[in-house]
Amino acid sequence: MIITNEVKKALEEQIPIVALESTVLAHGLPFPQNIEVFEKLENIVRENGCIPATIGVLKGEVKIGLTKDDVKKLIENDPLKIGTRELPYAIAMKKYAATTVSSTAYIASTIGINVFATGGIGGVHRGEWDVSQDIFELSKTNIIVVSAGCKSILDIEKTLEFLESFQILVVGYKTNKFPVFYNGLSKFKIFETNTPLEIANIFKAKNKYNLNSSILVANPVPKEYIIPIDETEKYIKLIEKEMTARHLKGKEVTPYMLKRLVELSNGKTLKSNIALLENNVKLACKIAKLI
């Protein structure tokens, strides 16, 4: 494992760190927006008094603290999309690999990073049995994950049921409804918090009683970037037909859906995705400074 000197120093001096995933860069956003977003998110973390730690796998080496050149190499080398399960394969086979929520959370937690910002977690897909590794990893990993809830392409109710079953505490930030991007708030109730300090205190209380699951902080997408659910559902139904015809399953599903959503919405979902990422990173920094 390679940990950059900046991240090492932050750990030693107890400077707050915010972990960031690489799958959103390699598989969630098109080029060149992915590079632009990487730079923007890293800058936001620094501007808010924290150290960024983007995580990925380069030729079999796990690296915590990817540089711009690292991200370019990752994207250019057709990286695998890996959860925790696939991590040993990527390492042993000397692969380039982008880390999802599950593998990023796991790797970050192993060196003592307490806060991780992402777009949205994986969950339970509609239709055939398809449950993300994210849920299983968050059930046993001690970290705060700041997200905009989960994507509207998922089965929201079943995703929340799984989160409850696996003892992953879900708290809304200034809301008691579970957010769904790109559509704002769902009808499903969750616990509400109103300040970063409240979230930090919940994390401290959890650790005091040795509860080793994650806390999922659900931070709604900014109102000006919400896309009406009727609009996205229209796109999703069309995309589902396309995936059935192409026999797409497993890890192929989410990247394909996100790519087609950008195309069908004329870029509206891309703008929303970038806005919620920035919003989540800002909140993650506020929380990290209080732990």
Kindly state the helix (H) or strand (E) to which residue 150 belongs, with its residue range. Answer: strand 150-151
Burial class, 77, CB count within 10 angstroms (exposed 0-12 / middle 13-18 / buried 19+): middle
Annotated binding-site ranges for substrate: 81, 101, 132-134
Task: Tell me the angle at which helices 196-208 and 268-288 cross, rounded to the nearest 10 degrees.
Answer: 60
Distance CA 39, CA 33 (A): 10
Dihedral, 51, 274, 230, 191 alpha carbons, nearest 10 = 10
Q: Which residue in 128, 181, 137, 139 sits closest to 156, CA to CA? A: 181
Q: What are the backbone dihedrals phi and psi of residue 186, each rounded to the nearest 5 degrees, phi first? A: -85, -175
Q: Which residue in 177, 202, 17 sits closest to 110, CA to CA? A: 17
- Strands (E) in 12-99, as ranges, are 17-20, 51-58, 61-64, 80-82, 97-99
Q: Copy the structure tokens of residue 135.
A: 């849920």
Distance CA 87, CA 22 (A): 14
Annotated binding-site ranges for Mn(2+): 130
By annotation, the residues acting in catalysis are 21, 151
Decide: 232 and 186 in contact? Cβ < 8 Å: no
